[in-house]
Amino acid sequence: MKQAIVVLGLCVAMSWPATSRAFCGFYVSGADASLYNNATMVVMMREGTRTVLSMQNNYQGPPEDFAMIVPVPVVLQEDNVKTLPPEIFSRVDKLAAPRLVEYWEQDPCRELVVYEMAAGAPSARRMKSSAAEDSDARLGVTIEAQFKVAEYDIVILSANDSGGLDKWLRKNDYNIPKGANAVLRPYVEQNTKFFVAKVDSKKVKFRNGKAVLSPLRFHYDAPTFTLPVRLGLLNSAGKQDLIVHILGKGQRYEVANYKNASIPTNIRVERSVRKSFGAFYDALFERTTEKNPGAVVTEYAWDATTCDPCPEPPLRPDELATLGGDVIVPGEQDPYSDIPGVVPQRKRRPSWQPYGFVLTRLHYRYDKDGLDEDLVFRAAGPIVGGRGMPDQKGQLGERRAQASSVNNFQGRYVMLNPWEGDIACENPQRGTWGGPPSGPTPRPFAAGNTALEGTTTNTLTGQLPALIRTDIPELDLEAGTVDLAPKSAPGSDDGEGGPSGDTSTSDGCSVSAAKSASFGWIALCIVAMWLTRRRIAQ
């Protein structure tokens, strides 16, 4: 029997140009999807009781072997489901992912220049015979809806017995992992419905010989804001990474039923981190979870109308609408209902406005012992952190999340290049930071894929003190002090004063070396369980 293991990549987003970076001169690289391209990613938009969930399918096997099951609170109809362009997911991830920023000390003898802030700017189809329907009824399974969306054949199921649902899935050629009955039982007892998707291989597009499946999006109304993730444990091969992006109208989110933590930010790092940023950040994340066991870590919470620094232009309003804005519309309003004695003459539905959204990025690393409940989200107060320019001594503030009136928090890591040229003036002004004084703009710093694979260990985990230049007391990490004066001639590779080209970590970790192997052993399913399908020999 041929078995293909599939992985679900989900994602979220928001933002568009309104204000560009406040200081012209720095260069930034986002730790984009390549950092955790084996992790499960989810994109959720929430307003009132409506949730929009977007999923990117990174399946690479035979299309006839693809299938997925997603627990949903209500029966979905064809109008609730659509496909999305795949490019929008990487756009979202780049905006919210941890980022590496590089600054150069400006000529201490230059004339001061003041920079101004720039303004940015089909109906259901019946496919079973009556005999088959009777058989389903005996198993306690009901097909509530059935339709096609692009290359997907979709059925919405309800069940009154988890054992019957298990048998129904096996009878319909789904190779269910052992233990599915017990994991399905809580969902069945809560009257949860099941979104089941298969692929019509005749409609699949291929690229380089591999099936390319369209991302899926669906929406529903439910009073509780949850993400069912326990089904993914059935295919767990060790630790899994779950990354959730949530877009809320003027609102940051955190988990209500697990511990919350925030990633340390505004940390100065050695130049060697340039070529191993993915592995460095993963080591920092691992240390954060060790000090906060069982915590879901906030990596980003920012007003969607701005970003600073911006790895790439923020999302446009039409892209935000694609991720759910077209169905996140306030209910009908009656402008005359509050006037005594006046009978309302009309009702109006206000148009959707793509402003005031906050993007939250949550990251959870777990195993079978660390996920006994589905994630439940709650609204949380605004936080700031990871902003600002280095001061004259190269120090940065806001190294941890702080309560505020706005959401401006991001995981940001900084490399500084002290001035190495001549200083010929009488009163040099040291400690002003910006872009490179001369030469071409350096290439963005690419982060390797560091999503854990089974028992894989990040070799940089024990080297963090040697890679940071800022103490992180909450993680019990100490770093040495730094002298801003040049320590070596231009062209040498001594600390942060060296060139930006060919450094690496002491263990030889680089962008390519940080990449893990196959996607198949990591984080299978998060709102969904990716299953294999088999054909039973007759």
Residue 376: which H helix or E strand, with range? strand 375-380
Q: Is residue 145 part of a domain?
A: no
| In contact, 399 and 469? CB cutoff 8 Å | no
What is the pLDDT at residue 471?
A: 93
C-alpha–C-alpha distance, residues 237 and 368, integer Å: 9
Any idea of the CA torsion for 82, 86, 91, 96, to the nearest 10 degrees?
70
Number of domains within the chain: 1
Task: Give the closest residue to 209 by CA, choosing from 6, 68, 85, 63.
Answer: 63
| Angle at which helices 130-138 and 162-171 cross, to 10° | 140
Reported as a pLDDT band with limits 50, 70 and 90, residue 470 is very high
Q: Is residue 420 part of a domain?
A: yes
In one-letter notation, the amino acid at residue 66 is: F
Strand pairing report for 412-417 and 383-385: unpaired
Q: At a CB cut-off of 8 Å and minimum separation 6, what does 76 contact?
A: 145, 156, 193, 195, 218, 220
Query: 210 versus 300: which is more confidently predicted?
Result: 300
What is the pLDDT at residue 460?
A: 76
**Residue 273 burial class via C-beta count within 10 angstroms: exposed 0-12, middle 13-18, buried 19 and up:** buried
pLDDT (average), residues 242-251: 92
Two tokens, residue 40: 């499960």
Residue 500 belongs to domain spanning = 8-57+87-121+220-330+351-522
C-alpha–C-alpha distance, residues 414 and 101, integer Å: 5
C-alpha–C-alpha distance, residues 504 and 492, integer Å: 14
DSSP annotation string for 399-429: -S-EE-SS-EEE-EEEEEE---S---SSS--
Q: Is residue 133 part of a domain?
A: no
C-alpha–C-alpha distance, residues 487 and 218, integer Å: 57
Q: Is residue 212 part of a domain?
A: no
Using only C-alpha atoms, the chain has a radius of gyration, in whole angstroms, of 26
Q: Is residue 378 part of a domain?
A: yes
Taking the CB of residue 200, how many other CB atoms lie within 10 A of it?
Answer: 13
Q: Is residue 406 part of a domain?
A: yes
| In contact, 524 and 6? CB cutoff 8 Å | yes
Whether 280 has a pLDDT exceeding 60, the answer reads yes
pLDDT (average), residues 362-383: 88
Whether 9 has a pLDDT exceeding 80, the answer reads no
Task: Give the closest residue to 136 by CA, choosing from 166, 160, 168, 161.
Answer: 168
What is the pLDDT at residue 442?
A: 52
Task: Report the sign of the C-alpha dihedral through residues 232, 234, 235, 238, in that order.
Answer: positive
Rounded to the nearest integer, the mean pLDDT of the chain is: 73
pTM (2 d.p.) = 0.76
Whether 324 has a pLDDT exceeding 90, the answer reads yes
| In contact, 44 and 375? CB cutoff 8 Å | no
Taking the CB of residue 121, how many other CB atoms lie within 10 A of it?
Answer: 10
Q: Is residue 128 part of a domain?
A: no
Q: Is the peptide bond before 335 cis (omega within 30 degrees of 0)?
A: no
pLDDT in tens, 138-196: 889 999 999 999 989 999 999 998 889 888 988 887 767 677 788 888 899 999 999 98
DSSP 342: P
What is the pLDDT at residue 322?
A: 92
Task: Give the closest residue to 275 by CA, choosing from 38, 509, 519, 25.
Answer: 509
Q: Is residue 512 part of a domain?
A: yes
